[in-house]
Structure 1
Amino acid sequence: MSFDVKHAIESGKTVLGIELGSTRIKAVLIGEDHTAIASGSHDWENSYVNGIWTYSTEEIWKGIQDSYQKMAADVKQQYGVTLQKIGAIGFSGMMHGYMAFNQAGELLVPFRTWRNNITGPASETLTELFNYHIPQRWSIAHLYQAILNGEEHVAEIGFQTTLAGYIHWKLTGQKVLGVGEASGVFPIDIATKDYNAAMVNQFNELIASRNLPWKLEDILPQVLTAGASAGVLTEEGVKLLDVTGELQAGIPLCPPEGDAGTGMVATNSVAKRTGNVSAGTSVFAMVVLEKELSKAYGEIDLVTTPTGNLVAMAHSNNCSSDLNAWVGLFEEFGKAMGLNTDMNKLYGTLYNLALQGDPDCGGLLAYGYLSGEHMTHFEEGRPLFVRSSDSNFNLANFMRVHLFTALGALKIGMDILLKEENVQLDEILGHGGLFKTKGVGQRIMAAALNTPVSVMETAGEGGAWGIALLASYMINKSENETLEAYLSQKVFAGEAGETISPDPKDVEGFEVFMGRYKSGLAIERAAVEYLK
């Protein structure tokens, strides 16, 4: 490295980002050139307790402490330095969900994560009331459902926040959220970069007859945008983060953000007319909008960037799981034939074959619905492969149809944005397992969205790196420097990425396939009903 990493650590010029994902907590320490110099992680799983998906507060702090200790040990082992000073820290977590506390700061009910689909009536009522799509996982839906359920704890609420907001509060004493995280709690007014005041009033009127001792604005965290100061690590906070007590108090923290926002930052897709798509077990695309949509869509969630610009999100529950299962079947066949097949070579061979198939997959049809799919209104799923007697059934088309269908539900949502709302999208950044085989997932995605798709070498760095970049921006930005400029000029300048533009034949073939995909949903529906 061109600078002295050891000196940067000793003089407190590093920045720490910690993100709590659904299966892993990761801590990443970055140097002055924004690259990772040390990391640590902790694996964890949610528990299903009394009908609720949850993580206990003990698990939360154990995981944070473990990931921090492993990162600090990595620093000691690599550079021979005990970590005591850090320039800034940022926390990120799974968005949405429900953490409610009383005035004494005690958790009233176990943490309800985003994964709980238990707020249907609240989601429907609020969507209609606000004329704004409120998904079931949003914090305001959880709060209103608790009110509808007549849960006793509601009257005691003094503060409601998210996972990242909870951790930040305990470490700094500050009840704040970054605007991107806050946009999954309650709708944001893009003009004020704060909760939508008219909707807050509507909510208060909706619950007025309940005679609760609080108003919504009294219990929600304050909203901050990227770059704002969000408090410092307290002496109490040090004890929660670093059990050795080596770390010094007084370190500034940036506003806590959600995993959606950190994903945008880590892929340099926070500017208008850009987007990023994450494709793995599930797939979601996020597009930064130039203006608000003309109406509310059940298929589209609206959140914001960490700077408060509106983002449309299309999310599909199913992506590559069924595709991976088919690749696994080919591996089994190879073993039965006495072949020892390397999985990377197997994926590469099969994926590249898909590029040789007919543009529309030769009349084949498949659905990779291992689980339900909200984009097409399925509560349950049944993986299916279907062909007619005159379809062109060969291996290339078989692989191609499974790659196409992995993006079928996503395309329905994206077509709303790109065709019905005429959203302008210059480029989309791809990351996730679908893009591991060089060039193939990119080309299929470009065909589905009719938009150039780029994959960066840093795309695998993830959300912990993204929140570290936000913390770095807070302390290192120059006066009036935007986050977009900071990322483009100081973090990603000279970043080697590969871009694939859509091939018109592929685009046309995907449209033909989508006609078949939509018509065939009746087959999927029948499979759900009859294959119990």
Structure 2
Amino acid sequence: MSFDVKNAIQSGKTVLGIELGSTRIKAVLIGEDHVSIASGAHDWENSLENNIWTYSVDAIWKGIQDSYTKMANQVKEQYGVTLHTIGAIGFSGMMHGYVAFNKSDELLVPFRTWRNNLQAQASAELTELFNFHIPQRWSIAHLYQAILNGEEHVANISFQTTLAGYIHWKLTGQKVLGVGEASGVFPIDIHTKQFNTTMINQFNELIASRNLPWKLEDILPAVLSAGESAGALTAEGAKLLDVSGELQAGIPLCPPEGDAGTGMVATNSVAQRTGNVSAGTSVFAMVVLEKELSKAYEEIDLVTTPTGSLVAMAHSNNCSSDLNVWVGLFEQFGKAMGMNFDMNTLYGTLYNLALQGDADCGGLLAYGYLSGEHMTHFEEGRPLFVRSSDSNFNLPNFMRVHLSTALGALKIGMDILLKEEGVKLDEILGHGGLFKTKGVGQRIMAGALNVPVSVMETAGEGGAWGIALLASYMINKSGNETLEEYLSSKVFAGQAGETIAPDAKDVEGFEVFMERYKRGLAIERAAVENLI
């Protein structure tokens, strides 16, 4: 096998995917069988500067270069060859946010991430104007809020894009986005698979009195669908990606996509009646719709698959971050007691204890709101753990309530789809950190949504693998082969996965917990308003 892999590497039959997530940048190189050959990762964190969540440009490129170098070094160590060329490359990143440049290609303001919840006025006004829900984190909401704020840089905008779009542009010179990523910038017309021109005209009319020197269509990237060519790596781009200078220019790139789209691809959930849920720093569920929803919902975003099919997205800003802090506290306790264990053992032990807890979490309540939570209308968050004097306070229930509350805001959105709109789901495919401990996150999720939850063997590969698959599809598809066909027949055929069906007691218990969760939002509100 190593001989075949070595030949694939030397002959450029590999494909590279790099995704910039909230806490990790990961590079995955795959072979002709779509299996990972080598990978490299770089940990990073956003910072709060002037009340804005951001990542610096230096941090972006340092992280990309580090993850690429680690991957390339692994290739050299395992196969004894230097990586000079690759069949295709794809980049993915956190969706939404705001990256704006002037005509000299200079960044006008620090990158504003999806995590910022300072665009409430813009979100409300655009939602009313379009009769289409525009969440605060969408790029158009960031832009319009900057206009409403009278920010000086707005008049100098020449190009606005996303994190993935920015990286792709710097490496290829092409100002483009994949349609899935683009659908989190501005609404997409699902018939043309392009930005909605009616809404673009409405936006231009809305800001006409501002006398800005540009029209919206002038500053947005071009929109491409999966399988289309999105340019090639330039000589300058090759040096920017590979600091060793070994990588050659001319490698084709697929359209840059968002983490939602790569999650759909990595879980083979791009067809109707399928869905996937990504649970990590944030949590979002993507459900591919058979038909349009009956009306616009503030809690539901409408985006698309990488091929332009309509997707309902329920997104919660907060998921496992606060839970991870609590696990870290137990780690500190263990060390103080002289215990030696690795974090996988600790997570596994604590998570499995949660399954011994009461289905309704024993009357306990928690909110992991490290940041604002649009699903429950909070611009700021305060992590809280609350209990009554007669609650069943023990370690299993303590862990279960933190796992359950990580899905609390998400469930509010999913209940709209499944209960109010009657959307049909055969199963949900899970991926992300919440599912790393076998069976636990799956069972809690199945109880929360009352839908079977599956985790594939490849789920741990995540979005970097997903964008690699999209790059592979671009260069390896046969004729008019659709992405759905390519994934089902060439990537996931015969692949094993584990499915957990909802347990009736878990479903009933989670509903009881959710009633407590909703009532307790008044406590969270008081904390936000009164705690520093």
TM-score, shorter chain, exceeding 0.5: yes
Q: 1:132-189 deviations in whole A, cap 9, x for unaligned? A: 2212222111222222233333333222212221222222222211001101110111
Residue equivalent to 2:277:
277
Residue equivalent to 2:207:
207
* Deviation, structure 1 residue 105: 3.0
Give the secondary-structure state (helix, strand or coil) at the position aligned to 1:39: strand
Residue equivalent to 2:237:
237
Amino acid at match of 1:78: Q
Residue equivalent to 2:33:
33
Cα 1:85–1:505 change in 2 (3 A) is same
Give the secondary-structure state (helix, strand or coil) at the position aligned to 1:185: coil
Could you tell me how far apart the structure 2 residues matched to 1:66 and 1:78 are? 18
Residue equivalent to 1:510:
510
Cα 1:311–1:131 change in 2 (3 A) is same
* Deviation, structure 1 residue 339: 6.3
Cα 1:86–1:340 change in 2 (3 A) is closer
Query: For residues 124-523 of structure 1, what are the structure 2 equivalents within 5 Å?
Result: 124-327=124-327, 344-378=344-378, 379-387=380-388, 389=390, 391-392=391-392, 395-523=395-523
Cα 1:89–1:372 change in 2 (3 A) is closer
Cα 1:62–1:432 change in 2 (3 A) is closer
Task: Report which of the two structures shows the higher radius of gyration computed on alpha carbons.
Answer: 1
Could you tell me how far apart the structure 2 residues matched to 1:163 and 1:327 are? 31
TM-score computed with the length of structure 1 as normaliser:
0.92
Amino acid at match of 2:40: G
Could you tell me how far apart the structure 1 residues matched to 2:323 and 2:172 are? 45
Cα 1:527–1:268 change in 2 (3 A) is same
Could you tell me how far apart the structure 1 residues matched to 2:245 and 2:357 are? 60
Give the secondary-structure state (helix, strand or coil) at the position aligned to 1:4: helix
* Deviation, structure 1 residue 284: 2.1
Could you tell me how far apart the structure 2 residues matched to 1:153 and 1:328 are? 41
Give the secondary-structure state (helix, strand or coil) at the position aligned to 1:422: coil
Cα 1:376–1:107 change in 2 (3 A) is closer
Give the secondary-structure state (helix, strand or coil) at the position aligned to 1:272: coil
Amino acid at match of 2:105: G
Cα 1:504–1:297 change in 2 (3 A) is same
Q: Tell whether the 8 Å contact from 2:2 to 2:79 is kept in structure 1 after alignment.
A: no
Give the secondary-structure state (helix, strand or coil) at the position aligned to 2:209: helix
* Deviation, structure 1 residue 502: 0.8
Q: 1:302-353 deviations in whole A, cap 9, x for unaligned? A: 2211111122222223333444455556666667777666654554444434
Amino acid at match of 1:381: R
* Deviation, structure 1 residue 216: 1.1
Cα 1:395–1:259 change in 2 (3 A) is closer
* Deviation, structure 1 residue 199: 0.5
Could you tell me how far apart the structure 1 residues matched to 2:233 and 2:445 are? 43
Could you tell me how far apart the structure 1 residues matched to 2:405 and 2:108 are? 43
Residue equivalent to 2:110:
110
Could you tell me how far apart the structure 1 residues matched to 2:16 and 2:344 are? 33
Query: For residues 7-18 of structure 1, what are the structure 2 equivalents within 5 Å?
Result: 7-18=7-18
Amino acid at match of 1:305: T
Paired positions, count: 531
Q: 1:224-283 deviations in whole A, cap 9, x for unaligned? A: 000011112223332322334332322211111111111221122222211122223432
Cα 1:63–1:406 change in 2 (3 A) is closer
Cα 1:243–1:508 change in 2 (3 A) is closer
Could you tell me how far apart the structure 2 residues matched to 1:365 and 1:50 are? 32
Runs of 4+ in 1 over 6 A off after TM superposition: 332-339
Q: 1:394-441 deviations in whole A, cap 9, x for unaligned? A: 554444333333322221111111111111111111123322332222
Could you tell me how far apart the structure 2 residues matched to 1:51 and 1:392 are? 39
Amino acid at match of 1:383: L
* Deviation, structure 1 residue 481: 1.1
* Deviation, structure 1 residue 120: 2.6
* Deviation, structure 1 residue 463: 1.6
Amino acid at match of 1:97: G
Give the secondary-structure state (helix, strand or coil) at the position aligned to 2:458: helix
* Deviation, structure 1 residue 361: 3.6
Amino acid at match of 1:101: F
Cα 1:224–1:370 change in 2 (3 A) is closer
Could you tell me how far apart the structure 2 residues matched to 1:316 and 1:309 are? 22
Could you tell me how far apart the structure 2 residues matched to 1:262 and 1:75 are? 24
Q: How large is the Cα RMSD of the aligned pairs?
A: 2.6
Q: Tell whether the 8 Å contact from 1:450 to 1:502 is kept in structure 2 after alignment.
A: yes
Cα 1:155–1:440 change in 2 (3 A) is closer
Cα 1:501–1:104 change in 2 (3 A) is same
Q: Tell whether the 8 Å contact from 2:447 to 2:502 is kept in structure 1 after alignment.
A: yes
**What stretches of structure 1 of length at least 5 have no aligned partner?**
none
Cα 1:168–1:346 change in 2 (3 A) is closer
Q: Tell whether the 8 Å contact from 2:285 to 2:313 is kept in structure 1 after alignment.
A: yes
% same residue = 85
* Deviation, structure 1 residue 500: 0.5
Per mean C-alpha deviation after superposition, the further-off stretch among 134-143 and 369-378 is: 369-378
Amino acid at match of 2:144: Y
